[in-house]
Amino acid sequence: MRPSLLLAAVAVACSPVPESAGTLVEGDAPDGVADATVSDFEASGAEFGVLVDPSSGEVTTLTRLDRAVNSGDFLQITDAACLDCGGANATCTGPAGFTRQVSLLLERASGSGAVDVAVSQTTNVGAVFATCDGGACPAYDVSTPDILQIDLLGVLNTCSAFAIYFDTDAADSITLSSSPPTVNGADIAMLQTSGEFDAGADNGHIWSDRPLQGQTFTTLGAGPYTLNAVTLRSRGPNIVNNSATFTVRIGTVTGTTFTEIARAETSQTLSYPPGRYITMHFGDPVTLDSNTVYGFDWDSSGSGFITDNNNDALYVGGSAFHHGAAGVGNDTNLVFTASDRLFHVDLD
C-alpha cells in the first residue's frame, strides 16, 4: 500500500476535492491536500472515506460508486460531521484533548443482515474505534432501507487534517425461526421432524463441556456452489439471553478426518425455546466443489442447545458426527453416529 498523501500542510481556506468517474465526493477539503485525495482514496480500495480538518470541523466524504452502488450495499444520505472539531477544540488543546468523533449516516440500498465496519487505512489519526447505531459493531439486523449510523472515534497525532478509510462488510450472524428454512435450488437438507430424538449428551449436545457436533453432506454435480448459511434445529432446553460465542466450521471430510476451509463466528445475545431453527449466516460466502463430501461442526463457548436428530437413512449423503471433548475438537478422529441432524445447508 503506498503512503498516504494527506499529510501535507493544512491551510485555512478550502477548495472542492476533484471528483473522478468512480468516486463521489461531497464537501470541501483543506488546501494543499485536495489534488491528492481522490487518487489516494481509490488506491486504498476502500468503500468510504472521510477527510477532516479538526480546526474548522469541515469534513469531506468519499464514496466508491462501483462498490457502494453497484454492489447494492450502502449509500451515504447526509453529510458527515465531526462532533467535537472546531470551536473550543480548534487548536486541539480543548477539554476533549486530541480525541475526535466523526459521524455519518448510511442507508441500505438492498439486502439485509448483519453489517460490520472495518477501518482499512488511516492518516494522521490512530486507534480508530467504530460503533454502529450507538453500540458495538457489527449491527446484526440491518434491512432495506434501514439507516445505519456509523461513528468513528480516533486519537489525533497532530492538529493537521486526518483521513479514515473504511468498508461496510457483511458479518457472521445468527437468526432464529419457529419455521423450517425454505429448501430450493442446490440446497441440502434433512428436516423431517416426525420421529426425531435426542442422540445423547456427547452425540448431540452443543455445549462448552461437550464434543463438537457436526453433520456431513455431499454436493451435487452441477457446481461449484456458494454456501451462505447452515441451520440446525434445537430440541431444547429453553435458553434465555445466551451470550456465548457460537462457531460453525465448514470443511472437507475424508474418512474420519475433517479439513477446515472456512468458519463463521458470532457472540450475539440470543433467546430460544425448544423447536427453534438456529441459522448461522456466513458473512463471507464459501465456495464448494461438485460431488464432494463436506461437513460442518458447531461449537459453543458456553451454553448452547440440544440438536434434533433423526434416522440416518433419511439423508443418504451424510451422517451426524462428533469429535473431541470439552469444546476442543479432534479433526482427525470424527466419530459417526447412526443418525442425521435436522439440518439445512443454504447453497447457490
Taking only the tens place, the pLDDT of each residue in 215-271 is 999 999 988 999 999 999 999 999 999 999 999 999 999 999 999 999 999 999 999
149-173 confidence digits (pLDDT tens): 999 999 887 888 899 999 988 899 9
Q: Domain locations in the chain?
A: 14-170, 173-347
Q: What is the pLDDT of residue 192?
A: 97
* Mean pLDDT of all residues in 93-110: 81
Instruction: Name the more confident of 205 and 16.
Output: 205
319 vs 23, residue with greater confidence = 319
> From CA 249, how far away is CA 270, in angstroms rounded?
20
DSSP state of 192: -
206, three cell numbers:
452443543
Per-residue three-class SS string for the chain: CCCCCCCCCCCCCEEECCCECCEEEECEEECCCHHHHHHHHHHHCCCEEEEECCCCCCEEEEEEHHHHCCCCCEEECCCCEECCCCHHHCCCCCCCCCEEEEEEEEEECCCCEEEEEEEEEEECEEEEEEEECCEECCEEEECCCCEEEEEEEEEECCCCCEEEEEEEEECCEEEEECCCCCCCCCCEEECCCCCCECCCHHHHEECCCCCEEEEEEECCCCCCEEEEEEEEEEEECCEEEECCCEEEEEEEEECCEEEEEEEEEECCCEEECCCCEEEEEEEEEEEECCCCEEEEEEEECCCCEEECEEEHHHCCCCCEEEECECCECCCCCCEECCEEECEEEEEC
The whole-number average pLDDT for the span 319-347 is 96
Write out pLDDT tens, residues 71-96.
447 888 888 999 988 888 888 775 55
Give pLDDT, residue 68: 59
Q: What is the model's pTM?
A: 0.83
Phi first, then psi: give them for residue 42, nearest 5 degrees. Answer: -65, -35
Angstrom distance (rounded) from CA 338 to CA 72? 44
Residues 6+ apart with CB under 8 A from 263: 247, 248, 249, 250
Contacts of 344 (CB under 8 A, 6+ apart): 180, 181, 183, 187, 188, 189, 191, 229, 230, 231, 277, 279
46 has pLDDT over 60? yes
Does the 173-347 domain belong in CATH 2.60.120? Answer: yes
- Count CB atoms within 10 A of the CB of residue 190: 23
Residue 123 Rama label (left phi>0; alpha psi -120 to 50; beta): beta
Average pLDDT, stretch 109-123? Answer: 89
Q: pLDDT-based confidence at 7, cuts 50/70/90?
A: very low
